[in-house]
Structure 1
Amino acid sequence: MNGFDLVVLGLSLSSSWGNGHATTYRALLKAYAAGGRRVLFLERDQPWYADHRDLENPDFCTLEFYQGLDDLSHFRGEIARAGAVVVGSYTPDGAAICGFVQHHARGVTAFYDIDTPVTLAALERNACPYLSAEMIPGFDLYLSFTGGPTLARLARDFQAKAARALYCAVDPELYRPLDLATRYDLGYLGTYAPDRQPVIERLLIEPARRAPELRFVVAGPQYRDTIDWPANVARIDHVGPQDHAAFYGACRFTLNATRRDMVRAGYSPSVRLFEAAACETPIISDAWRGLESLFAPGADIVVAADADDVLHALRNMTEAQRRALARGARARVLDAHTAAHRAEELAGHIAAAQKAAQPA
C-alpha cells in the first residue's frame, strides 16, 4: 500500500477539552480527506485528553496514539513515506519531534502554527517548548495561523522558506443556524487564558455588572475560582463541539475576545470567530489590525472598545439590524472561510513546495 498523503503530529484530534486545536484539525482534515486523500494523525496520549475524548474513531482519517518520543519510532515508516508531514504548535516534545520529522520525512515537511504570535514571543525569550528557531529553516513550509506582516517577519527574522497564512476555518455542516429560543444576551465560548481575561472583564463582566437585567454566559474550562462573576453571568465548564451550534444559537450576541500577542500581531482570527459567524450569531469583537480584512465593521460585526460599546449594541440594535449583521458575517464565512477553502489552500501550498523541491 502506498503511504499516507498527509501525516499530522498535533496537540489533539481526539479531545476538544481545554484547547481550540482539535476542532481546527477536525474541520481541516475532514475537508482535506474528502478529495480521496489518506490522512494519519499522530497524537501524544495525554491523561487529561484521554479523560475528555469526544472523537476516538474519526471517519475521515486514521488516528493513532503514541506514548512518547521512543514510541514515535513505530511510525517512522509512515512519516518517511508520506507525501507531506505536518508538525503542529503545542505538540508535546514538539522541538524534538520537529528534528525527528526533518530527519526521516522524504516528502514535504511543514510546521502548522495555530498560535503564531505566542510562538514567536516565546522564541524571542528562548522559551518555546515545541519549536526552536534553528528548526524553522529546515521546514519546506511554515503554515501560520497569523497572516499580514508576520509572514514577512517569519521569512526575514527566522529564515522560513515559505511562510504562508493558513487561517482557522469552519465545517458548515456542523456549524449552522438553529431555530432555538434565546437564553442569553451575550455569550462567550473559550478556555481561560490569563492574557485574554482582561478583555472578557472589559467586554462581558463589566457590561453584566452595569446591566443586571441582561443575561450573560461564559463557557469553557480552567477559569480561576478567584474571578468575581456577577449574578447574571452563567458559567458552563465545557461545551463539546457537537453542542457549539446550540450554544451560539442560544445567544443574541457572542463575544470574540483575543489574546494579547494576537492583538499585537493582528491578522489572527480565532476559530471561534468563524464558527459563531457560520451559526449566524451576531458577533461583538475587540479591535485588532486585520479584522476588517475578514468582516466589515458595522455591517458584518460589531467592534467594541469598552463596556459602553457592548451595552449600546445589546440595548439599541434592532432585531432587523441584528439579523442583517449575522447574515453578513455568515455570508463572508461561506464565501472564503470554510474548511473546504482551507483544504484547497493547504493542497496548493504542499504542491508548490513539492515543485520547489524538484531539481531545476
Structure 2
Amino acid sequence: MNIAFYGSSLLSSYWNGAATYYRGVLGELARRGHRITFFEPDAFDRQQHRDIDPPEWAEVVVWDATPEACRAVLARAGEADAVVKASGVGVFDDELLEGVLDQAAPGALRIYWDVDAAATLEEIAGQSDHPLRRRLPEFDLVLTYGGGPPVVERYTGFGARQCIPVYNALDPATHHPVPPNARFQADLNFLANRLPDREVRVEEFFLRAAALLSDRPFLIGGNGWETKAMPANVRGIGHVGTADHNAFNCTPLAVLNVARDSMANIGFSPATRVFEAAGAAACLITDAWEGIEQFLAPDKEVLVARDGQDVAQHLQALTPERARAIGDAALRRVSRDHTYALRGEQVDAILRRELAAKREMVAA
C-alpha cells in the first residue's frame, strides 16, 4: 500500500531522537512491499545535520516550514492508502493533524503515531479543546512508540478507537559491535539531548554519580549541554551522529540510559538508546522504570539503578569481564526478541488487517 507519513525527520537525528525508530519501522515496511513517502519540514537545522541521504526505499519530501508549503504537502494525503500524522513534527503540528484527517481519501487509514505518548497524554489531559483530543475519535488507529497498558488505557479513555504500542527495536545492520574509539573513552557514557523534562533526572543519575566517583572519567554527548555546569571529571562532546553511535556505545566500560520524566512515570517506554546500546553489546545501566524486564533481564542483560548512588555502586562493582558478559547477553536478547524486522512484521499485519476492514466498511 501507499503510505504517506508526516513526521519530524527521516534524514536527521539532530534534535530528533525518533529518526532511527522511523528508519527501522518504515524500512521494514518498505521491504514488505509498501511504498513510503515521508514528508519532513526544513526546520531546526536538521537538513544541515543529516545522518543519511534519502534512502532508496522511501521518497522523502522536504518542505519549507511555511503555511503554503504545509498546505502543498497535505494536498498529497489523498493519494495514499494509509496516512500517518506523527507526534512532535515541531512545526504546524495542529495544521498537519487537521489536514491528514480532512484530506485523506475516504477509504484510507488515518493513523496517529505517537513517539512521545506519555507527554502527549499529559498535554491533552488538561485541554478539552486540544485539536488531538477533539479529533482523536476520527483516527482509525493510534500507534505508540511505547507506554504499554497504561498508555493504551488512557488513549482509549480519550476516545481512541484502538491503541497499539509498537516499541523501539534493533536494526542489526545499523547498530552492532565495533572496535573502540579513543574519542569516546570513559567509564560511563551518556547520550541524550538536553530537554527540560529529563534534566533533573540527568542531574541525579549521571551528574550525581560523576560527583560521587570524581576520580573516574564520564562522557556526555548530545545537544544543549555546553552551558550546563558539570563536575570536572565529565567531558562533553556535543551532538553525536548516528554513524558514531556504535563506537560511542562500544568504547566505555558502561553506558547510561535516563528516561524522560513522562516515560519514567508511565513505564513500558524503552528509549531507542536502550536497543542501540544492547545491539552494540554495551553494558547498559538504566534508570528504573516499570516494565524493564519485558525487554531486558535485570542483573543479567541490564543493570537497573534507582538513583545516582546506585549508578555509582554499579560502576564500582563492574569489571570489564562482567561488563562484557552483560553486553553479550543483551545483544543475544534483542537480536532474538526485539528487532525492527519483528516490529515491521507487526505493523504490516496491523495495516493490512485494518485497511481491509476499513474498505469493507466503506463499501457497505
TM-score above 0.5:
yes
- Percent identity between the two aligned chains: 31
TM-superposed CA distance for 1:326, in Å, is: 1.0
Match of 2:285 in 1: 284
Flag the 1:268–1:337 CA change in 2: closer, same or farther, 3 A.
same
Query: Conserved in 2, the CA contact under 8 Å of 1:148 and 1:266?
Result: no
Contact 1:32 1:343 in 2 (8 A): yes
How far the C-alpha of 1:184 sits from its partner, in A, is 1.0
1:181: Cα distance to partner?
Answer: 5.7
Q: Do the aligned partners of residues 14 and 128 (structure 1) sit closer, same or farther apart at CA in structure 2, a change above 3 Å counting?
A: farther
| Higher mean C-alpha displacement, 240-249 vs 35-44 | 35-44
Which residue pairs with 2:37 in the alignment? 40
Within a 5 Å distance, the mapping from 1:1-360 to structure 2 comes to 5-46=2-43, 48-67=45-64, 68-75=66-73, 78-91=76-89, 92-106=91-105, 107-126=108-127, 132-145=132-145, 146-155=147-156, 157-180=157-180, 183-223=185-225, 225=227, 227-357=228-358, 358-359=360-361
User: Is the Cα contact below 8 Å between 1:8 and 1:88 reproduced in 2?
Assistant: yes
Task: Say if 1:7 and 1:82, in contact at 8 Å, map to a contact too.
Answer: yes
Give 2:196's aligned amino acid: P
Runs of 4+ off more than 6 Å: none
Q: Any conservation in 1 of the 2:170–2:279 contact (CA below 8 Å)?
A: yes
Cα separation, 2, equivalents of 1:75 and 1:123: 26
- Tell me how far apart the structure 1 counterparts of residues 169 and 246 of structure 2 sit (CA, whole Å): 15
The offset of 1:127, in angstroms, is 9.4
- 1:87-132 deviations in whole A, cap 9, x for unaligned? 1001222222122111221211111100001101111232998x52
Q: CA deviation at 1:224?
A: 5.9
TM-score normalised by the chain length of structure 2: 0.91
Structure 2 contact 226–238 (Cα < 8 Å) conserved:
no
Structure 2 alignment gaps of length 5 or more: none
Q: Say which SS state the counterpart of residue 180 (structure 2) adopts.
A: coil
Partner Cα distance (1:315, 1:95) in 2: 48
The TM-score with structure 1 as length reference comes to 0.92
- Does the Cα contact within 8 Å between 1:122 and 1:128 map onto a contact in 2? no
Q: Which secondary structure does the structure 2 equivalent of 1:142 belong to? A: strand
Distance verdict in 2 for CA 1:124–1:311, change over 3 Å? same
Specify every segment of 5 or more residues in structure 1 that has no aligned partner in the other structure, as ranges: none
| Count of residue correspondences | 354
In the TM superposition, what is the alpha-carbon distance from 1:176 to its structure 2 partner? 0.2
Give distance in 2, aligned partners of 1:200 and 1:189: 10
User: Letter of the aligned partner of 2:205 in structure 1?
Assistant: L
The change in CA–CA distance for 1:127 and 1:282 in structure 2 (over 3 A counts) is farther
Q: Which moved more, 1:30-39 or 1:66-75?
A: 66-75
State the alpha-carbon separation in 2 of the partners of residues 339 and 332 from structure 1: 14
- 2:171 counterpart letter in structure 1: D
